[in-house]
């Protein structure tokens, strides 16, 4: 009798436990469905917020591009401004009225200015999803319930981390949005400064033109040597040979209309300064003029009419026509970028027809003027 009672109680307990496990399994699966739907809802909200955030990042990065261009314009124009100012000071001339006293270190550096939103602009928010895969094929309900609980815990952890990421994204977006007006203000300030530098450069260029015209009209006598250095093309042969060494560029083999003033000699044993048959651009002068017209990039100061003139470059044409060792011998005052562009232009040229000496192709120097004037 006692044995039968124990057997009955054990059977009842197993049945109760089985029913509890089944009930818990159903409850966990229902809760899992809720968590999965919550994840989908959170994902939709995250994507919408991300779309807004990406738009703000795009605006911010576009504005940084504007600031970089504005800063570049200021530096380019300040370089021209400084060169013209230096020439007037060298000539001991009075400055034109209303010339600004400009210091480059007073202009905010865009890279430092935008540092407060550097991290928000570089942020890449990511929504992490919980995989819905669960392998419970041959598991008992008790084991299934363990798997379901672990999966529910995973959903809750990811929901919390995604919520934190969403708040961080919104905070970063607010920081970018609040900073955009400041960036716009700096861009306008950059533009005003650049325009002011351009205006001052025009005034100083006009003053230099007046001084050059006076120098040309009155003749070379009674003018200090600095005039011959600032305006080397007005009276190129007036100074002594010794003085000209510091003011002129050397003459090299060239087949084109312009030539360099006589002056310093540069020679290497295996490089000819002049040859019986000069090295030429393939197709001759007309072909080279077309190449230059198509490929020459005018610096901003030239396009605005602030500076103009010719850059004289020297380079080597090898026995096989390759160009090398391009350098500026005489640039344009106030336009260092003109010299850089002349070098780039020559280096981009196709191979020349090499010069010949005694019927043999040789390595030779070539001089070329590059005109910067619209």
User: Which of 319, 83, 127, 92 has its CA nearest to residue 223?
Assistant: 92
Q: Are residues 268 and 208 in the same domain?
A: no
Please check whether residues 289 and 200 belong to one and the same domain: no
Cα gap 163→41, rounded to integer Å? 12
CA–CA separation, 323 vs 87, rounded Å? 34
**Sign of the Cα pseudo-torsion (291, 294, 300, 303, in order):** positive
Q: Is 173 exposed, middle or buried (0-12, 13-18, 19+ CB in 10 A)?
A: buried
Give tens-digit pLDDT for 323-335: 999 998 888 877 8
CA proximity to 286, closest of 297, 294, 278? 294
Q: What is the pLDDT of residue 104?
A: 62
Number of domains in the chain: 2
Q: Please check whether residues 155 and 296 belong to one and the same domain.
A: no
Residue 47 lies in a domain: yes
State how far the alpha carbon of 368 is from the alpha carbons of 250, 253, 274, 310, 312, in Å. Answer: 11, 9, 14, 10, 6
CATH number at residue 291: 3.30.2420.10
Query: What angle separates helix 2-90 from helix 336-347, to the nearest 10 degrees?
Result: 110
CA distance 296 to 311: 12
| In the block, residue with structure tokens 């798997």 | 147
CA distance linking residue 162 with residue 152, whole number of Å: 15
Same domain (yes/no): 286, 151? no
Write out residues in the chain with pLDDT < 50, as ranges: 4-17, 240-267
SS3 116: helix
User: In which domain, by residue range, is 254 found?
Assistant: 248-372
Tokens representing 284 are: 């001759």
Q: Which helix (H) or strand (E) holds 251?
A: none
Residues 207, 298, single domain; the answer is no
Please name which of 372, 371, 369 lies closest in space to residue 252, comparing C-alpha atoms.
369
CB neighbourhood size of 281 (10 A)? 24
My answer on whether 27 and 133 are in the same domain is yes
Q: Would you state the pLDDT for residue 38?
A: 93
Residue 280 and residue 203 in one domain? no
Extract the tokens encoding 244: 């000209």
This prediction has a pTM of: 0.57
Looking at the fold, whether 204 and 275 belong to one and the same domain comes out as no
**C-alpha to C-alpha distance for 54 and 65, rounded to whole angstroms:** 16
Does 276 lie in the same domain as 159?
no
| Residue 48 placed within a domain | yes
Cβ atoms of residues 151 and 134 within 8 Å: yes
Shared-domain flag, residues 124 and 56: yes
What stretches of the chain show up as alpha helix (H) in DSSP? Answer: 2-90, 110-113, 118-122, 141-218, 225-230, 241-244, 284-295, 300-303, 336-347
Contact in structure between 108 and 186 (CB atoms under 8 Å): yes
Of 214, 236, 261, which closes a domain? 214
Q: Are residues 209 and 322 in the same domain?
A: no
Same domain membership, residue 344 and residue 207:
no
Question: Does 219 reside within a domain?
Answer: no
State the DSSP code for 117: G
325/347 Cα distance (integer angstroms): 9
Cα 177 from chain centroid (whole Å): 24
Residue pair 151/34 in contact (Cβ under 8 Å)? The answer is no
Predicted pLDDT at 243:
46
């Amino acid at each position: 009798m006692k044995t039968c009672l124990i057997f009955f109680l054990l059977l009842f307990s197993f049945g109760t436990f089985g029913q509890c496990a089944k009930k818990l399994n159903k409850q966990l699966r229902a809760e899992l469905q809720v968590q999965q739907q919550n994840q989908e809802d959170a994902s939709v909200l995250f994507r919408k917020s991300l779309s807004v955030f990406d738009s703000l990042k795009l605006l911010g990065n576009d504005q940084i591009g504007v600031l970089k261009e504005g800063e570049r314009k200021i530096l380019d124009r300040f370089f021209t401004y400084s060169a013209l100012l230096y020439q007037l000071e060298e000539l001991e001339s009075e400055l034109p009225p209303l010339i600004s006293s400009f210091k480059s270190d007073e202009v905010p550096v865009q890279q430092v200015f935008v540092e407060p939103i550097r991290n928000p602009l570089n942020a890449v928010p990511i929504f992490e999803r919980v995989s819905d895969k669960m392998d419970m094929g041959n598991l008992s309900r008790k084991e299934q319930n363990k798997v379901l609980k672990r999966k529910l815990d995973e959903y809750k952890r990811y929901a919390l981390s995604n919520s934190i990421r969403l708040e961080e994204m919104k905070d970063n977006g607010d920081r970018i949005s609040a900073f955009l007006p400041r960036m716009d203000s700096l861009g306008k300030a950059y533009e005003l400064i650049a325009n002011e530098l351009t205006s001052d450069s025009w005034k100083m260029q006009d003053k230099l033109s007046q001084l050059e015209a006076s120098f040309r009209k009155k003749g070379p006598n009674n003018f200090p040597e600095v005039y011959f250095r600032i305006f080397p093309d007005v009276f190129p042969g007036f100074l002594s040979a010794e003085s000209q060494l510091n003011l002129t560029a050397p003459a090299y083999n060239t087949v084109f209309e312009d030539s360099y003033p006589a002056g310093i000699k540069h020679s290497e044993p295996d490089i000819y300064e002049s040859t019986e048959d000069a090295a030429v651009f393939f197709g001759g002068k007309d072909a080279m003029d077309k190449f230059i017209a198509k490929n020459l990039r005018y610096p901003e100061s030239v396009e605005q009419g602030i500076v103009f003139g010719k850059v004289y470059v020297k380079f080597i044409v090898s026995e096989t026509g390759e160009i090398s060792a391009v350098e500026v011998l005489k640039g344009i005052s106030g336009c260092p970028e003109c010299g850089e562009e002349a070098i780039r232009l020559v280096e981009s040229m196709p191979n020349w027809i090499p010069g010949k000496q005694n019927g043999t192709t040789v390595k030779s120097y070539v001089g070329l003027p590059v005109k910067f004037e619209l």
